[in-house]
């Protein structure tokens, strides 16, 4: 018999990263052989405490499912100079994909950004692994920022040789309804 899996898990809770989340997150990524060292999440906690980054995690009970972060002063110069916060490092564990979890994480990240900025930015890789994310962002209304692709956050010139790795990125922006996040808890 095929088990029925609900399209949307109503019990998903999206909330800021806490120190006790580091162990279940790193264990979950280890189990799917993704290299996600605990130092990354310990650094995120430090950056979150300093107000540089907000880290949102998705849990179903004690079970970790995915996360996203918002960098409030991103390294990418066009975003930084325009005061555009950047959504970074969106990940959902493979077996929980296509259940709307990334959409829930993006909703909450955008809600928090909208309390501070009318525009949100994001960078997406160009090779095939990023195909799902490219579609997700386009369907949410993100459009290219007009600077073409960047490599290690440097805008590329025509003819410049680069490697199609995780640092080859197209930056996108989306206009947000101003103040949509103000009614909720502080970002």
* Torsion angle in degrees (nearest 10) through CA of 52, 34, 139, 109: -20
Distance CA 149, CA 163 (A): 12
Q: Which of residues 65-94 bind ligand COA (CB under 6 A)?
A: 90-92
Of residues 72, 150, 65, 74, the one with CA closest to residue 99: 65
Tell me: does residue 152 bind ligand COA (CB under 6 A): no
> Would you say 61 or 159 has its CB closer to ligand COA?
61
DSSP H helices, the chain, are: 22-31, 38-49, 77-82, 101-114, 131-139
- Extract the tokens encoding 85: 């916060």
The DSSP element (H or E) to which 89 belongs, if any, is strand 86-92
The interface region with ligand COA, picked from 11-19, 22-30, 95-103, 172-180 by CB under 6 A, is 95-103
| Least separation in angstroms between CB 11 and ligand COA | 15
- What is the contact mask toward ligand COA in residues 117 to 146, using x (rule: CB under 6 A)? -------x----xx-xx-xx--x-------
Which of 100, 149, 162, 180 is close enough to bind ligand COA by CB under 6 A? 100
Token representation of residue 116: 């501070």
Phi, psi of 69 (to 5 degrees): -130, 160
Q: Minimum distance from CB of 133 to ligand COA (Å)?
A: 4
* Shortest CB 98 distance to ligand COA, Å: 5
Closer residue to ligand COA in complex, CB, 103/119? 103
Shortest distance (Å) from residue 159 CB to ligand COA: 26
Strand partners, 175: 119
CB of 125 to ligand COA, least distance (A): 6
Which pair of structure tokens corresponds to residue 42? 């310990």
Interface residue list for ligand COA (CB under 6 A): 90-92, 97-103, 124, 129-130, 132-133, 135-136, 139
């Amino acid at each position: 018999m095929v088990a029925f899996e609900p399209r949307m898990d109503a019990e998903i809770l999206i909330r800021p990263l806490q120190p006790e989340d580091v162990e279940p997150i790193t264990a979950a990524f280890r189990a799917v052989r993704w290299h996600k060292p605990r130092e990354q999440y310990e650094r995120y906690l430090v950056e979150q405490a300093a107000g540089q980054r907000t880290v949102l995690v998705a849990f179903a009970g004690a079970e970790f499912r995915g996360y996203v972060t918002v960098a409030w002063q991103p390294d990418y110069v066009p975003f930084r100079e325009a005061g555009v916060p950047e959504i970074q490092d969106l990940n959902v564990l493979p077996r929980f994909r296509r259940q709307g979890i990334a959409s829930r994480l993006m909703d909450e990240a955008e809600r928090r950004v909208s309390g501070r900025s009318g525009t949100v930015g994001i960078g997406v890789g160009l090779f095939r692994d990023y195909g799902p994310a490219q579609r997700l962002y386009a369907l949410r209304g993100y459009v290219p920022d007009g600077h073409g692709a960047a490599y290690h956050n440097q805008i590329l010139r025509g003819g410049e040789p680069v490697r199609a790795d995780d640092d080859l990125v197209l930056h996108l922006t989306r206009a947000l309804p101003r103040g949509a996040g103000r009614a909720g808890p502080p970002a």
